[in-house]
Structure 1
């Protein structure tokens, strides 16, 4: 009894020590008794939290842990469990729980195995290499699927055992290194090497001996695989050879993917799976790539070895196949099998034969494989098969175009005649020219010749005319419309849509009037039709170029009683009425009794007449302030542009003038001397108005405006008898740039006057109320430099010396 108590105390102390070490990995003094396999998920989570709180990694702690007695194997296990820790839900994270497994839908756990992919550039053309370069394809076992009934348990697996019903029990129990599961109150049950199905029956029987309700059926036992163990396999001959720890549910393809697939010279079709030092299975990846057959994708066991030998035979397929590349061949396989690996010919391939470049022991040789040999020819290592394109030519093509209902390319057959091809094209159109059709024929030397055929005779049954056709013939059936001239007819004048129209037989004047939109309201009864003269001989006695027809029509009516028949190229002119003018208006504004727009009563309406119609001037009107603003017409600008001022190509005076008329000056001002007009209405200043004119009568203004290059721009009250200088002095005179000699005055009616001089006596124009005095700016002058003055002095001195010398 004492011995049993002692053993129990030792075991209790051992487990307590492991727990303490797990909780205080950095501060513990002896880690030789720490067993990672017996540590719970909570212990691992506490270690990870401890590392994070100390801001360190597990690799940095390794020397310290080994110095405190922890074995290297146990430390490796600890690193694996820590590195496989996954992110947990927000609720679990708040409680400080960290899982180190990837969980399936049923809670099953499995350590993730990650291997970075290395892109295979050297073997990129080898068929099958892309299978191992795709990161999204890894053949990982699906943990969401039910556990296979033939799954063999081993150390590292973990079972979820539950008793539910009258009695309840639940625990997650790992399979120990001795291959046993230790169930509370039941004891240790060996399950290593047993299938999950057999272990379930054995564990259920052991539990029923302890839980009586299980034996009676009042309680049930549930057993599932909650954690899958990791096995080790060795891969030889891959791009990344080595030992891999993978899931016990992993298959051969999963391991090959982790190893990066076959190496540079590795075989894809003779991969060996060695188990217990014996060849267990040969794997051919082409079965999966070509047929989708995963029969070779068998499950792996602990300590399996996957050996990838070097390939024995590779060939290359180039050209017009659906999947060109480098393919590995087995002994006995034919070109037909190789073609299946390449997914067959594409739609442009020449399939009658395939050219192959072979390598001998000394040099190269070329061989052509006929289509009948595809199933018997066995490719040799190093063969390069070139599948060429079909020729861009036809073996039975014939074409017809032109005046047939279905112009197209048709199939040719021996004995085909011209009538057969026309019938195949659904016959001739109504406009077909049947006296002659052209056949362009390709001769044996690829030159062409033309053969003509009479379709009337050929289609009427004459055998000689219904000639035989040859392949590649191009038959053209002409249309009578091709020979018809494109006739036009022109209408102009008082018509709504003047222009050029198509001519048709029996086209009449009424037809053309309607087609052109009908007559306008200004159309007169006179119509002139010009018709060209056609003659084979020149008649010098008759110099007429056209024949003229003068007609009278009922204006305003598009349907004439006498309907004139037109001819090709006739020119029809509808004349305008002699008197047909729409009322035109002028505008009166300013100091008149009735401002507004007034219609010109006659073509010679004067300004005096219109102002009188407007009620005359008001009491506040400035008699000297009447003027006419006449819009500048586009024709005037065009005439100015056409005038050659001979100023040179680079001179911009004319361009500036044209631009000013177009953009700045929209009106031309005409001054009106109203005082003279009132005294004598026949005076020349009583000008005739044009449509669009604007008459302005300014209001009397008792001031004079002074502007330009003066010290103060201002309006000075008018003072009778005061002259030009008085008003300039009133604004302080001109400034430094003012040019007084060129000052001018603008009167209220728009007339301008400038200062003048006579024998050094300058006179200035008279100033009237409402006038504007403008002082322009002096032009800039370039001052001569000292050097220029010296040069001028030298020239003058030289000239003086010459003169003095000449008179000596």
Structure 2
């Protein structure tokens, strides 16, 4: 009955406590029932969050908690747990910033920085790539469980947790004296102890303080939280020296940090020295060849890795899978060396290997037979050369030509030509069976040809069905090879003119259908040119070919069925005499009906189109009529092909590339008076007649002070308009100024002695002042040279008249 009452009481206390824990501690009225030892880490975290939300520290909350019934002892326990959580949280946050591994596994390692220098001096040495790969470092994996027999030391940090009825958690470092300090438990010496023994010692000490641990109601967990850094020394590496590395680091990790063995360092006799004695001999080849990591032992503080000089090295070149320089141990054979090189590759000659050896005075060459591979002992400095197999076949034979499966086949002694043809699935229908050819390599490496009668060979004649030899090449001819490739040519008004294959009984109708039929402009006239064949030369007959004239219906492709063509015929389908599509010109500007007009006849002139367009309007400028005629591509190419002797930077080249049309001036007043005037030109398709709108302005452009348009004034000359825009600038070439009239004509300034005649100015004209050409001024040296020449000439003249 007493036990039942005790259980009910304990249950009520726990329920009450849990209700209180879920509430704000500061707002709870009664805290006398709280037992801090029974609080979980979540409960402590909630209390910590409640204090933070009220901007209150644990010390500031003490009087409130005491006033609400919490005992001083319980409050001290609560304070300890809150501080422990705060410290743990701080350490965890710092660790998160430093290392992601801490966030996942609760273990960190002090950051170790070693600047590794890649050294490719000994790139051919087998094993050097292990230490020259930047992505390979052999760093210890912090995610693994705590290693068995891990020896604790100063700098390690233990995570000690008590869980169950009582809970406690703290990260406790191992002090420099080798002790850890646990609150309420005291100091415990753990340095130099394996972690398993230290764990038992810590549990026993905690059990003396926490009764629930002694009774088994609570459990203790001990794990490595932070790993210490140890000092080791590497001698004989590419970067020898002292290194700070993880206490979980291994020999390979340290070797990688040191860049591996030095130039003459051994890869197979590395010594791990501990307490001034050789603790382990390391052979890296065991790891490289077999993946055996038995030599990759963990390091301890003050360990020394000594890399002595190699004793024997040999080189393997040629057809092996991994050529390079290899280190050999005493008693190892060529078979072991071949295993290091991963064996022969697919093209290696394996019956014998050549080795270049060194004696005390000179070199010598030795051949190792396949049977001696396992007994030959390599010597230091040996160079083994594995050669390629010969580029030839011991049992190859070939058949080509008119058989169903031309290819290479395996040769067997006694094979005859009929056997080879049978293996090639027999002769094709076009095979020429009276003769086949065999190209044979003789014993003196010269080539001979053997001819075979296939008909006789395939009907059982042993004299014709000759025996074949290795590397014979049998060729079966095709009757198609002896036929000339005949062609016919069709041109003119067909859709796909060109050269086509000739076949027997090909008719003109067949060819017309093959080329897609006739075009709409095809006439009924067809001309066939046929070659003349004769064994006798007739000088009296001048004909080179035979011309045949045919007539067909131009609107029907199915015709001339019975006209048989012959090889090399040339067929020409003529165009009908009159077949022209409507062509158009354009008129724009000051006319009544501008737009496009069809040329009604071949002699359509400017006057005819202007009248069809309704004539000129009242705002037209009769002095400003011109025709813009597109320049054809071939005409532009001819223009570009003319050598104008222009400099590389001359802008005229760019202007020529931009020309799209030519301009033809029109004198409309003359055309109105005389329809036969030369200005009334005949129009071509694509021409554009431009009728300018009357404009009383005169444009002045080029190298003038102000590009502008000046109102036209009757009687005013060329100079007036140039002066009206401020005159020419310092680059202007006034005496070469020219004018462009509205109809496209141009006129230039003319000079005679000291007189200059400027062109007349019309409304809507454009005056252009070009730029002066650049002139090179004479240097002082050139002037001195001219003076010297003149002086010499003067002396000669004076001397001549004396």
Is the partner of 2:339 in helix, strand or coil?
Answer: helix
In the other structure, the counterpart of 2:754 is none
Q: Spell out, residue by residue over 1:568-595, the C-alpha distance to the aligned partner (whole angstroms, 9 max, x if none).
A: 2222222333444445566677787766
Change (3 A) 1:464 1:717: same
**Deviation of 1:474 (Å):** 2.6
Matches within 5 A, 1:576-591: 576-583=575-582
SS across alignment from 1:666: strand
Q: Please say if 1:666 is aligned against 2:665.
A: no
CA separation of 1:421 and 1:770: change in aligned 2, threshold 3 A: same
Q: Return 193-202 or 635-644, whichever deviates more.
A: 635-644
Q: 1:423 to 1:621 in 2, by over 3 A?
A: same
Q: Is the 8 A contact 2:272 2:304 kept in 1?
A: yes
Give the match's secondary structure for 1:222.
strand
> How far did residue 672 of structure 1 move?
6.5
Q: Which aligned pairs between 1:249-268 and structure 2 lie closer than 5 A?
A: 249-258=248-257, 260-268=259-267
CA distance, structure 2, for counterparts of residue 101 and residue 755 of structure 1: 89
Cα–Cα, structure 1 residues 443 and 104, in superposed 2: closer, same or farther, change >3 Å? farther
**Cα distance in 1 for residues equivalent to 2:692 and 2:259:** 101
* 1: CA distance, partners of 2:767 / 2:224: 110
Do the aligned partners of residues 395 and 189 (structure 1) sit closer, same or farther apart at CA in structure 2, a change above 3 Å counting?
same
Match of 1:405 in 2: 404
Q: For 2:738 and 2:360, how far apart are their aligned partners in 1?
A: 111
Q: How does 1:604-753 map onto structure 2 within 5 Å?
A: 629=627, 631=629, 663=659, 666-669=662-665, 671=667, 689-692=682-685
- Paired with 1:698 and 1:255, the residues of 2 have a C-alpha distance of 94
| Alpha-carbon separation, structure 2, partners of 1:539 and 1:388 | 71
Q: Is the 8 A contact 1:739 1:775 kept in 2?
A: no
The yes-or-no answer on 1:551 pairing with 2:550 is: yes
Q: Which residue of 2 aligns with 1:459?
A: 458
Match of residue 365 from structure 2 = 366
1:596-649 C-alpha deviation (Å, 9 max, x unpaired):
666565556677777776677888999x879885948869969998999xxx99
CA-CA distance at 1:290 after TM superposition: 0.8
Partners in 2 of 1:695 and 1:396 — Cα distance? 85
Distance 2:657 2:558 in 1: 48
CA distance in 1, matches of 2:503, 2:470: 42
**CA shift at 1:383, angstroms?**
2.1
Q: Deviation at 1:163?
A: 3.0
Match of 2:486 in 1: 487
Counterpart for residue 429 of structure 1: 428
CA distance in 2, matches of 1:102, 1:704: 87
Q: For the structure 1 residues 642 and 503, does the alpha-carbon distance in structure 2 shift closer, same or farther, using more than 3 Å as the test?
A: farther
How far the C-alpha of 1:559 sits from its partner, in A, is 0.9
Do the aligned residues in 2 keep the contact of 1:354 with 1:386 (CA within 8 Å)?
yes
* CA-to-aligned-CA distance 1:371-427 (integer Å, 9 cap, x gap): 121122122233221222233333233333333333333333322323333333333
Give distance in 1, aligned partners of 2:700 and 2:284.
101
1:320 corresponds in structure 2 to 319
Say whether the 8 Å CA contact 1:604–1:688 is kept in structure 2.
no
Answering whether residue 565 of structure 2 is matched by residue 566 of structure 1, we say yes
Are residues 519 and 100 of structure 1, via their aligned partners in 2, closer, same or farther at CA, if it must alter by over 3 Å?
A: closer
Is contact 2:509–2:560 with CA below 8 Å preserved after alignment?
no
How many residues of Structure 1 are paired with residues of Structure 2 in the alignment? 678
Question: Given that residues 238 and 266 in structure 1 are in contact (C-alpha distance below 8 angstroms), is that contact kept between their aligned partners in structure 2?
Answer: yes
C-alpha contact (below 8 Å) 1:606/1:686 kept by paired residues: no
**Which residue number corresponds to residue 519 of structure 2?**
520
- Is 1:626–1:673's contact at 8 Å kept on the other side of the alignment? no
Q: Which whole-Å CA distance do the structure 2 matches of 1:223 and 1:754 have between them? A: 109
Residue 381 of structure 2 is aligned to residue 382 of structure 1: yes
Which residue matches 2:58?
A: none
Q: CA 1:419/1:592 → structure 2, altered by over 3 Å: closer, same or farther?
A: same
Q: Which residue of 2 aligns with 1:508?
A: 507
**Distance in structure 2 (CA, Å) of the matches to 1:153 and 1:704:** 105
Question: What's the CA shift for 1:438?
Answer: 2.6
2:735–2:749 Cα contact (<8 Å) kept: no
In 2, the alpha carbon distance for the partners of 1:130 and 1:160 equals 40
Per the alignment, residue 438 of structure 1 pairs with 437
Distance in structure 2 (CA, Å) of the matches to 1:275 and 1:745: 104
> Closer, same or farther in 2 for the Cα pair 1:169/1:531, shift >3 Å?
closer
Q: Is the 8 A contact 2:131 2:259 kept in 1?
A: yes
Q: 1:744 to 1:241 in 2, by over 3 A?
A: closer
**Residue of structure 1 in register with 2:38 after alignment:** none
The answer (yes or no) to whether the contact 1:630–1:670 under 8 Å persists in 2 is: no
Deviation at 1:336, TM superposition (A): 0.7
1:205 is paired with a residue whose SS is helix
Q: Deviations over 1:81-114 (max 9, x none)?
A: xxxxxxx999779999999999685444555555
Aligned to 1:70: none
Could you tell me whether the CA contact under 8 Å between 1:630 and 1:669 is conserved in 2? no
Deviations 1:341-397, CA, capped at 9 Å, x for gaps: 111122332222111122334433221011121122122233221222233333233
Give CA-to-partner distance per residue, 1:744-769, whole Å, 9 cap, x none.
998x999999999xxxxxxx99x999
Q: Secondary structure in 1 aligned to 2:574?
A: strand
- Could you say which structure has the larger radius of gyration? 1
| Contact in 2 for aligned 1:158/1:227 (Cα 8 Å) | yes
Give the alignment's Cα RMSD to 1 decimal. Answer: 5.7
* Distance across 1 between alignment mates of 2:665 and 2:398: 77
Question: 1:534 is matched with which residue?
Answer: 533
Partner Cα separation in structure 2 for residue 769 and residue 155 of structure 1: 108
Unaligned residue ranges in structure 2 (runs of 5+): 1-86, 751-757, 776-782
SS of equivalent to 1:554? coil
Match of 2:146 in 1: 147
Gapped regions of structure 1 (runs ≥ 5): 1-87, 719-725, 757-763, 803-808
Q: Counterparts of 1:522 and 1:470 in 2: how far apart (Å)?
A: 66
CA distance in 2, matches of 1:474, 1:316: 43
CA distance in 2: counterparts of 1:235 and 1:639, whole angstroms: 80
Q: Secondary structure at the match of 1:210?
A: coil
Whole-angstrom distance in 2 between the partners of 1:246 and 1:715: 95
Aligned with 2:208: secondary structure? helix
Partner of 2:8: none
